[in-house]
Amino acid sequence: MCSKETSGKILFLRDESITTPPVRNQLVSCHQEHNTKRYMNNHSGQFYIGLDIGGTKCAVVIGDDQFVIHRKIFFETRVERGWEKILDEFKSHIDTLLLEFPKENLKRIGISCGGPLDSVKGVIYSPPNLPGWDNVPIVEIFSAAYGVPAAIQNDANACALAEWLMGAGKGTRNMIFLTFGTGMGSGLILNGQLYAGTNDLGGEVGHMRLAQDGPVGFGKTGSFEGFCSGGGIAQLARTHVLRELSAGVKVAFCAEPAMADKLDAKTVFIAAQQGDPTALEIVRISAEYLGRGLAILVDVLNPQCIVIGSIFARNEQLFRPHIERILGQEAIPLSMEVCRIVPAALGDTIGDYAALCVAIYENKF
């Protein structure tokens, strides 16, 4: 989602201090005058619509093939309503946008949603954060409603497309995108195309086991996701801190065992940034396993670029020395010579562009 999604604000480039009373549905018109001129100067006048479906928030964006977002509307999902009413709200917001942008210029609709799903059939299959979304034929629904092709990808693949088409992986033919947020997912760009696998499970790197013991992620002890995700790092922190406290070591960010259950990744990284030795040790463990996971991906897929988001992007200086050391030990040297490990470029705005890039990709590739 867009980093400017401050609750209760309608944002304009000219005066970002303008506020309105809190509302549930919000129209964000970033760079409004500039973007409208860009749209009017677009020789084709064609535009795309992106739908970002999340368990907490959803968004509708409208933009062009130059990756300029002209309008954005976001709203609370409220999953208890059921998928039919949520999709009806999407349609209502699309209809609002089409009052300003001529429907005949709509080229395609792109959809980003958590899996499991079938990108070929265009069906969503019960994502954990969207209870009741069982066999929802979402592509058919929106294609029929607006008379244009529609396409869907899981959110990791959609974000990979965004970083490849316009972000840190732009210009590459072989790129891996790693989410490294709440979980560890990935999107694969291979030979200049998105690779989703036989049934949209390509790139589930978080399920790889990197150790027999360790934090649990993706339902597996010692997995890549266990060591390299927000939830996994919180588990690491609790285990390590309790061990330190039982040995009589003082831990500044967790003074007593009763506090350990409340530890999260953010607390660890704040302490690590301040030089706390216990926090730095927790980060070292996560970083070394990140390096091992990256080495496997480098050896198997020989990418030009691995783009890593969220936690890595915000704490690159803490991770990089460790992952470079491990990659030097574990990865094929010739493969590493042609591979860059870089933080995601789009930051918190990646959700805005991901669904839009699904539409643009499906139209152009």
Write the pLDDT tens digit of every residue in 157-204. Answer: 999 999 999 999 999 999 999 999 999 999 999 999 999 999 999 999
Which class in CATH covers the domain with range 175-345?
A: alpha beta
Query: Which of 195, 58, 175, 198 minimizes the C-alpha distance to 114?
Result: 58
CB 94 within 8 A of CB 143: no
Is a pLDDT exceeding 80 seen at residue 261?
yes
Digit-coded pLDDT (tens) for 270-279: 999 999 999 9
Question: What strand order describes the sheet that includes 57-63?
Answer: 26-28, 69-76, 57-63, 47-53, 106-113, 150-154
Looking at 1-15, 194-208, 349-363, which range is the least confident one?
A: 1-15
Average pLDDT, the chain: 88
More confident residue, 8 or 39: 39
Is a pLDDT exceeding 80 seen at residue 5?
no
CB 28 within 8 A of CB 97: no
Is a pLDDT exceeding 90 seen at residue 360?
yes
Per-residue confidence (pLDDT) for residue 22, from 0 to 100 = 33
Query: Which of 46, 100, 102 minimizes the C-alpha distance to 363?
Result: 46
Q: What is the pTM of this model?
A: 0.87
Average pLDDT of the segment spanning 25-33: 45
- Do 175-345 and 26-154 fall under one CATH topology? yes
* Strands 220-221 and 216-217, sheet pairing: antiparallel
Average pLDDT of the segment spanning 3-19: 29
The whole-angstrom separation of Cα 319 and Cα 192 is 29
More confident residue, 12 or 80: 80
Q: Hey, how many other C-beta atoms are within 10 angstroms of the C-beta on 27?
A: 15
The ranges assigned to domains in the chain are 26-154, 175-345
Is a pLDDT exceeding 80 seen at residue 70?
yes
**The CA-based dihedral angle spanning residues 173, 347, 183, 299, taken in that order and rounded to the nearest 10 degrees:** 30
Which class in CATH covers the domain with range 26-154?
A: alpha beta
Is a pLDDT exceeding 80 seen at residue 41?
no
The whole-angstrom separation of Cα 322 and Cα 285 is 9
More confident residue, 32 or 314: 314
Is a pLDDT exceeding 70 seen at residue 10?
no
Is a pLDDT exceeding 50 seen at residue 40?
no
Per-residue confidence (pLDDT) for residue 363, from 0 to 100 = 75
Is a pLDDT exceeding 50 seen at residue 326?
yes
- What is the three-class DSSP state of 212? coil
